[in-house]
C-alpha cells in the first residue's frame, strides 16, 4: 500500500522509470510502465524505451540508485531526449503546415492580382492614363490573345513538347479569354406545349451562330496541335545553335542550305541535326504524317480566319482611302491582262510577274484588293442610277458584262490565287484595318484565335520540312 502511494506521488508527466534500475531478483514479475508527455495528437509518434535506446546517450553509472525503491527512480537522459525529439518533430510539422498554407495563400493572391490586372486592362482599353482614349473591348481581347501566343510560343523554335508551365499558362489564359463567348448569345423562338395541350411560343437563348460553329472547331484544332508537339518526345534528330562547333552539329549538314530551302534569312532558328546514316524509316514516316496533319490544321485555321475577316465590316477609313482608279493602282500591264484576256488565268499572270519576295507579293495583294473594291463601288454606283428592273435582276446579262463587275471578279480570283501560292503571306492592309476598327467581341476572339493557330501550324510544318530536308541531304 505504501509502495503504491509512493508510486502515485512520482508519476508526473515527465517521469520515465528505467528498467535497468530495478533489481530483477526482487521484482521478477513486474514490468516497468512507460510514461510520456505525448498528447493525443502526437501519440502516433511514441516509441517504447527499447526502440529509442539505440539513439540515446550512455547512462551515467551514478544515476543508478543503490536502492530499488520506486520513490528514488531518476529521470533518465534518454527519456528527456526522446521527448525533446517529439516536441521538435511536432513543431517542424506545424511549421510545414503553416508554410504550405502560406504558399497556397500566396498562389491565390497571385492569381487574384493577375485577374485584377486583366480586368483592369479590359476596362481601360490598354489606356493606362484612364482618360478614356483606349481601344475598344474587341481590340483589347484580340491583342491579349496575340500577346499570349507570343509569350507561350515565341521562344519555341523546335519540334519538342511544350513545357508544362507554358502549356498550363496557355490553357488557363485561353479558357479565361474564351469564356466571354459563353455570354454572347442570340434568342430564337421555340414552341413549347403545356400540360393542357396549349402550344406556347417562348424565346430561347443559344450561342451566336458563328461562335457555335467555329469556336468548338478552333478548340479541337488547338488540341490537335498540342498533340503534334507532344509526339516529338523522343526523337532521332536534335538541334544545334548556329555557329556551334560541337561534333553533333558537324554531322547535320550546312545551316545555310536549310535557309536556302526555306527561302528566308532566319538566323535565329536552331539547326536540325540527324545521325550520320540519316533517320530511320519509322522516324521519316512519323515526320511526314505529322507534317500532313499540321498542314491540314493550317488550312482549316486559315479558312476560318478568312471567313471571319470576310464577315467583318469594311471600315469607313478604308473606303475613304481607296484610289479613284483601279487601273492606276494596279498598273497598265496587269490592268490590260485583267480586262483584255479572253480566258483569264491568274496562275499564268503570277508566273509572268515573277514575284521575288514575300514583300512584293504582299504589296501586290494590297493593290489588287484596293482595285477590287474600287471597281465594286463603281459597279454599285452605276446600278443605283439604273432602272428598278435592272437593279432587281442581279444576275442579268447586263450585270455580267459590266466592265467594273468583270474587273472586280477577276481581281478577286487573282487575290485568292496569290494567297494560295503564298500561304505565309501577312495580312493585307484591309485585314489589318478591319481588325483595328472592329467592335464585335465575338468576331475579334474568333479571328485572333484562328490567326495564332494558323501561325503555329505553319511553323510546325516549316520545322518538319527543315528536318526532312537535312535528312535528304545527309543521305546524299
8 Å CB contact between 192 and 261: no
Phi, psi of 199 (to 5 degrees): -90, 130
User: What is the pLDDT confidence band of residue 242, given thresholds at 50, 70 and 90?
Assistant: low
DSSP label at 242?
T
8 Å CB contact between 257 and 474: no
Rounded CA-CA distance 148/183 in Å is: 22
Per-residue pLDDT, 401: 64
Per-residue pLDDT, 79: 67
Whole-Å CA distances, 468 to 275, 284, 461: 12, 7, 11
Average pLDDT, the chain: 77
Q: Which residue has the cell 488540341?
A: 223
Min mean pLDDT across 137-141, 168-172, 405-409, 464-468 is at 405-409
Per-residue pLDDT, 376: 87
Per-residue pLDDT, 210: 94
**Does residue 303 register a pLDDT over 50?**
yes
Q: Which of 230, 246, 383 is nearest to 293 (CA)?
A: 230
User: Measured between alpha carbons, how far apart are the two ends of the chain, in Å?
Assistant: 104
CA 74 remoteness from chain centre = 68
Q: Which of 421, 472, 447, 22 is nearest to 218 (CA)?
A: 447
User: What is the pLDDT confidence band of residue 86, given thresholds at 50, 70 and 90?
Assistant: confident
Rounded CA-CA distance 87/14 in Å is: 13
Per-residue pLDDT, 214: 97
User: What is the pLDDT confidence band of residue 133, given thresholds at 50, 70 and 90?
Assistant: confident
Residues in the chain: 476
**Does residue 216 register a pLDDT over 70?**
yes
Per-residue pLDDT, 123: 80
**Does residue 27 register a pLDDT over 60?**
no
8 Å CB contact between 258 and 470: yes
* pTM reported for the whole predicted model: 0.69
Per-residue pLDDT, 241: 64
Higher model confidence: residue 137 or residue 393?
137
Beta bridge partners of 201: 191
Q: Is 191 helix (H, G, I), strand (E, B) or coil?
A: strand
Rounded CA-CA distance 71/74 in Å is: 9
User: What is the pLDDT confidence band of residue 109, given thresholds at 50, 70 and 90?
Assistant: confident
Summarize the confidence of residues 354-358 as an average pLDDT. 85
Q: Which of 250, 267, 271 is nearest to 463 (CA)?
A: 271
User: What is the pLDDT confidence band of residue 52, given thresholds at 50, 70 and 90?
Assistant: very low
Rounded CA-CA distance 134/136 in Å is: 7
398's grid cell: 447586263
User: What is the pLDDT confidence band of residue 354, given thresholds at 50, 70 and 90?
Assistant: confident
**Does residue 47 register a pLDDT over 70?**
no
Higher model confidence: residue 436 or residue 46?
436
User: pLDDT tens digits for 181-213?
Assistant: 999 999 888 888 888 888 888 888 889 999 999
Min mean pLDDT across 59-63, 238-242, 346-350, 354-358 is at 59-63
Phi, psi of 193 (to 5 degrees): -100, 130
Whole-Å CA distances, 438 to 137, 212, 316: 10, 20, 11
User: pLDDT tens digits for 255-299?
Assistant: 334 444 554 556 677 888 888 888 899 999 999 999 999 999 999
Phi, psi of 353 (to 5 degrees): -70, -30
Summarize the confidence of residues 66-95 as an average pLDDT. 64
Higher model confidence: residue 337 or residue 300?
300
Amino acid at each position: 500500500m505504501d509502495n503504491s502511494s509512493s508510486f502515485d506521488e512520482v508519476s508526473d508527466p515527465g517521469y520515465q522509470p528505467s528498467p535497468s534500475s530495478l533489481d530483477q531478483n526482487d521484482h521478477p514479475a513486474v514490468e516497468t510502465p512507460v510514461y510520456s508527455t505525448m498528447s493525443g495528437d502526437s501519440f502516433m509518434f511514441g516509441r517504447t524505451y527499447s526502440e529509442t535506446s539505440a539513439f540515446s546517450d550512455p547512462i551515467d553509472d551514478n544515476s543508478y540508485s543503490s536502492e530499488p525503491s520506486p520513490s528514488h527512480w531518476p529521470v533518465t537522459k534518454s527519456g528527456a531526449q526522446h521527448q525533446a525529439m517529439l516536441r521538435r518533430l511536432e513543431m517542424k510539422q506545424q511549421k510545414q503546415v503553416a508554410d504550405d498554407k502560406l504558399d497556397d495563400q500566396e498562389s491565390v493572391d497571385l492569381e487574384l492580382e493577375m485577374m485584377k490586372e486583366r480586368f483592369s486592362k479590359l476596362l481601360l482599353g490598354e489606356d493606362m492614363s484612364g482618360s478614356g482614349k483606349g481601344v475598344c473591348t474587341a481590340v483589347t481581347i484580340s491583342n491579349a490573345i496575340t500577346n499570349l501566343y507570343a509569350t507561350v510560343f515565341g521562344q519555341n523554335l523546335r519540334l519538342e513538347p511544350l513545357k508544362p508551365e507554358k502549356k498550363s499558362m496557355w490553357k488557363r489564359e485561353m479558357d479565361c479569354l474564351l469564356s466571354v463567348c459563353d455570354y454572347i448569345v442570340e434568342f430564337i423562338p421555340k414552341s413549347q406545349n403545356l400540360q393542357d395541350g396549349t402550344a406556347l411560343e417562348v424565346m430561347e437563348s443559344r450561342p451566336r451562330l458563328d461562335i457555335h460553329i467555329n469556336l468548338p472547331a478552333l478548340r479541337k484544332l488547338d488540341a490537335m496541335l498540342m498533340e503534334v508537339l507532344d509526339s516529338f518526345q523522343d526523337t532521332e534528330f536534335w538541334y544545334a545553335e548556329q555557329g556551334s562547333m560541337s561534333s553533333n552539329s558537324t554531322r547535320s549538314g550546312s545551316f545555310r542550305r536549310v535557309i536556302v530551302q526555306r527561302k528566308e534569312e532566319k538566323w535565329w532558328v536552331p539547326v536540325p541535326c540527324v545521325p550520320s546514316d540519316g533517320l530511320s524509316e519509322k522516324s521519316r514516316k512519323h515526320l511526314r504524317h505529322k507534317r500532313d496533319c499540321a498542314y491540314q490544321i493550317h488550312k482549316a485555321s486559315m479558312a476560318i480566319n478568312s471567313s471571319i475577316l470576310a464577315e467583318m465590316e469594311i471600315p469607313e477609313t478604308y473606303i475613304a482611302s481607296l484610289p479613284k482608279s483601279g487601273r492606276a493602282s494596279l498598273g497598265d500591264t496587269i490592268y490590260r491582262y485583267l480586262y483584255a484576256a479572253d480566258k483569264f488565268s491568274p496562275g499564268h499572270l503570277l508566273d509572268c510577274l515573277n514575284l521575288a519576295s514575300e514583300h512584293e507579293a504582299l504589296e501586290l495583294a494590297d493593290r489588287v484588293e484596293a482595285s477590287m473594291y474600287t471597281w465594286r463601288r463603281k459597279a454599285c454606283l452605276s446600278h443605283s442610277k439604273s432602272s428598278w428592273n435592272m437593279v432587281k435582276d442581279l444576275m442579268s446579262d447586263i450585270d455580267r458584262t459590266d466592265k467594273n463587275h468583270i474587273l472586280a471578279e477577276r481581281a478577286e480570283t487573282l487575290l485568292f490565287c496569290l494567297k494560295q501560292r503564298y500561304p505565309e503571306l501577312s495580312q493585307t492592309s484591309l485585314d489589318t484595318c478591319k481588325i483595328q476598327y472592329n467592335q464585335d467581341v465575338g468576331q475579334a476572339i474568333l479571328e485572333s484565335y484562328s490567326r495564332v493557330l494558323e501561325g503555329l501550324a505553319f511553323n510546325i510544318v516549316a520545322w518538319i520540312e527543315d528536318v526532312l530536308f537535312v535528312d535528304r541531304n545527309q543521305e546524299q
